[in-house]
Structure formats: C-alpha cells, structure tokens
Amino acid sequence: MTTETRPKMHVPITKPSLGEEEARAPYESIKSGWVTQGPKVAAFEKAVAAYVGAKHGVATTSCTTGLHLALATLGIGPGDEVIVPSFTFIASANAILYTGATAVFADIDPRTYNVDPADVERRITNRTKAIMPVDQIGLACDIDAINEIATRHGLEVVEDAAPAIGESYYPQASAARGADRRTVRSEDDKGRTVGSNAHQTVFSFHPRKVITTGEGGMITTDDDALADRARKLRAHGMSVSDLDRHTADRVIIEEYHELGFNYRMSDIQASIGLVQLRRLPELLRIRRERAARYNAELRGIRGLETPYTPPYAEHTYQSYCLRLTSDCALDREVLMTNLLRRGIATRRGVMASHLEEVYLKRNGRVSLPVTEEATRTTMLIPLYATMTDDEQSYVIDALRQELDSH
C-alpha cells in the first residue's frame, strides 16, 4: 500500500474535450429563439448519418431513450424477448424493460468482452424478437455474425453502439466468414463504419463518450418507415414536427395517432454536437495514441492484461480496460483504493447487469461465467483526449509502483 498522504496530481477517469468553439456554438440558436428541437438538430442528424453512411439519423435525449425508441418502432412489447449481453451498462437492458419485453442475458467473448454470437443463438426461443449487441467500451462487436443469426431466425438487430461513433468494422475478418482469432485483416478490406451495419444503430453523446452534446443520442438506419416512426414517437406521437409547422406557409393542425414520448434533443445540444463531430477524427487519433502508449508500457507489468482488439474491429477507447490476472499482487479494490489515494480515479471494468437486484428479481439467477469473471477482474484507468503526457506517465508509474512493490 502506498504511504503517500497528499496526491502529487489528480487524474480523473475521463474529461470531455470541449473548447471555445463548442462554447460559442449555442449562441446562434439562443439568438434565433430555436432552443428546442429545430434546424440545428436536423443538421446534426444529417451530418451524423452522412458520417456513418446511413440514410437517416434520428436525434434523441440519450442513448437509453434511443434504444427504447428503436425497440418501440419495431413493435416490441410484453411477451417478447430481446437478447442482450449482461456485461454492459444497465441502460441497455433497461431499455428493453421499458417496452414491457424481457431482457434475456447472453455471455461474452473472454477477450473482446462483446457478446458471444454462439451463446446468443443458444438463447433464442419462439418469443425472441430482437438481438441487441453492444460495442463494449468502444470496440465494435462482430456484427455480421450477429446479423447472420438474426436473418436465419427472422429477428431484428438493434446495435447499441453507445461508445463507438467513428469506429470501423472489417467484415472479411468476421466469424460469419469463417475467420478466427488467428485471422489477419486483409489490406483490401476497407471496412464499414459503425452505424451502417445493423437495421438500427444507437449512439451516445454522454460526456464519457468520444464526442458529447452533454446528454444525447442518435439512431441511424436506412429504413424510411422506422425513421419516420421514430421521429413521430420521440415527439409525443405528433404527426408533424415543430420545425415543419413553424416553417410552413399554411396552417397545419397536428394529429396524434399513438402514444409517444418526449425524447427530443435541443438545438443548443445539437449545435455543440456539430462542432464535436467535425473534431471526431482528431479526438479518435489522440485516444488511440494514448491507448497505444498504455499498451506498450503496461504490457510488461505482472498481473495486468491490456485490451485485445480483434482483426474485425477498431477501438474508440471510450475507456481503457485492464484485466487483473490471477498473478496480480493486489486485489482489484485494494489497487483502486491505493490509486485513489494517489489522486488517480479508476472504475470497475463493466457491470454484470444480471447480478443487479432489479434483474435478479425478474430473471432469477442466470449463469454467465465469462461475464462474471470479467466483471470481477477488470478495471478502467484514465484516458481522454486532453490527457497530458505527465498525467499518463503518473498513472503508468503508479501502477508499476503499486504492483511491482509486492
């Protein structure tokens, strides 16, 4: 245990990368009077859809409400089942519960921490209506393998890509094409951007993500009917948007044909999002450089296992996730406490949603051994685009001192 009593430095787990341009961005919306959903939201939707190669973008108040909305557009409800990994933030499963459907938890791959397609297929029943894979911690799931299972069983796919905007998926290295972990990515596999690979994909713009609007989310899809229904449902089921009514040259009386929600992003948020989206390539480059340094300098520390990136994916590194191996000198909680005393914030890797009381009450005890091992042994350490060399050195040196001194 460290004997330091006053930290030399304070390093947060994450920090949004927001500057003067983002601070100025809402001014136009405020001056115009369009502070709720309006032209900036429409522009942001169009920009995100173009970036990921999808036909439509539908902005929402969060990724959670976006997931709920995506499921609602498919008519999923009581009596239905949706398969989802447990090893993810609880919001993924919660969105399923909001529809009245049942969240059926599947286990994960032990190296990628993404849902195991084989386990997904084992859990399909005659009540299964959809699969919700998660791009965990910013690493794309093997979406073609999931899509193939869904097609074979007549299921929908809603991809929870909360931390994965800007990431590419390389289909030739997919297990759906017979690839395995030894596969090397082909030079002629140009990749497809996450957001264009599932029937519906949902992103998050929470401050912990690569880009942020404070809070916010976005559905991307090529399906005209689903996009139209999502736009209506997010605005109380209104038959025509506020923007269309206010810019029309005739009187339009809106109608309400079904129960909707208030899941509308504001123009103030979208104006920030437009600036952040332009900065996305640079923010990703910096995060990947920081992760590469961690990979190089932490790999030799006994007891630590650095993140694995399969040939079919890139990583946005929303978070940098370490696994503590069986020969680690300290228990995870002891190590996290010692790092906190040094001024370094950490978090447990990822929760196991099926072990939380809200799901134990509903589903009973489900055995997911890979998930349970991962949630016990993983830990997130600081990584963000504005992280300085000195901050990262401080984290690396602290880990060495804590683990090499025992």
Catalytic residues: 209
Half-sphere exposure of 69 (CA within 13 A, CB side): 36
CB 202 within 8 A of CB 161: yes
What are the two backbone dihedrals, phi and then psi, of residue 277, each rounded to the nearest 5 degrees?
-65, -40
183: left (phi over 0), alpha (psi -120 to 50) or beta: beta
Residues 6+ apart with CB under 8 A from 27: none
Backbone angles phi, psi at 221, to 5 degrees: -160, 160
- In angstroms, the CA 345 to CA 313 distance is 28
Give me Rg for the CA atoms of the chain.
Answer: 22
How far, in Å, CA of 345 to CA of 7, rounded?
A: 12
Count of all residues that appear for the chain in the document = 406
Three-state SS string across 209-257, please?
CCCCCCCCEEEEECCHHHHHHHHHHCECCECCCHHHHHHCCCCCCCCEC
Q: Is the dihedral of CA 332, 334, 337, 338 positive or negative?
A: negative
- Cα separations in angstroms, 98 against 84, 93, 160: 14, 9, 16
Q: What are the backbone angles phi and psi of residue 158, rounded to the nearest 5°? A: -115, 110
CA atoms of 243 and 229, how far apart (whole Å) = 16
Cα 1 to Cα 402: distance, rounded to the nearest angstrom: 7
